[in-house]
Amino acid sequence: MAISVDLIAYTPNPEKVVAMSAHLCYSPIGAKQIGENLDEANSARLVRQMVNSGHHSTLEHVSFSFAIEGISRACTHQLVRHRIASYSHQSQRYVKAVDFERIVPDTIKYKPEAKEKFDKLMAQIAETYNEFVEMGIPAEDARFVLPNAAETKIVVTMNARSLLHFFEERCCNRAQWEIRAMANLMLQEVRKVAPVLFAKAGPTCEYGRFCREGKRSCGKLEALLAEDAKKKEN
């Protein structure tokens, strides 16, 4: 089952709002008046300045909401660890998971003997869950047998500052594959409506040429640095 990410709402003119907030800090006039005289080029310049300078409090004035489907409970358990955000998660208490969809990792999907065992176990779990529900066991108790592989849906809202941190952590090659795929789709969505704001979003090796993973680095930084050096030579 493919991951689906839709940007369902966001602050109108997000980059202009960030620019207005930034300009206000150093202006004797109000934000509304600033906005009336702020063109696209100046907005972009101010947004770049805020992102590059680390003045990220101005980024908190804009937010983005995503509708996400086709992810596992294992993925949402990681997602909700990002605390400066709002979540509305499909409830297993009230939504019965009869014949639930399941997410299959590629490492299992493309290994026949593993896939066979996985499918057999999922079928057994689904049968047991369905039997519990038919016996009158409440969904909130029947769910105790459901696996991390069970598909779920969630609405997520984050401000731009939180999203930059999220993309830095979860677009990294060291992130777990499922949340990394989801994060990359989220990044694609916000870049459509705020390309300047999220121009340098993503793992630090790509935009900052450094890596926080230390000895656990995936090696991408070294490859990027070698590519940079080759370009300079040419």
Three-class DSSP category at 81: coil
Residue with tokens 């969505």: 189
Degrees, nearest 5: CA angle 71-77-80: 100
Catalytic annotation, pick one of 170, 174, 212, 216: 170
Three-class DSSP category at 66: strand
What is the amino acid identity at position 71? Answer: I
How far from chain centre, in Å, is Cα 67?
Answer: 11
Residue among 129, 82, 79 at smallest CA distance from 101: 129
The three-state DSSP-derived secondary structure of 115-160 is HHHHHHHHHHHHHHHHHHHHCCCCHHHHHHHCCCCEEEEEEEEEEH
Residue among 184, 190, 160, 161 at smallest CA distance from 8: 190
Q: Are 139 and 133 in contact (CB under 8 A)?
A: yes
170 is catalytic: yes
How far from chain centre, in Å, is Cα 228?
Answer: 28
The DSSP H or E segment spanning 184 is helix 177-193
In this structure, what DSSP letter does residue 58 have? G
Q: Known catalytic residues? A: 170
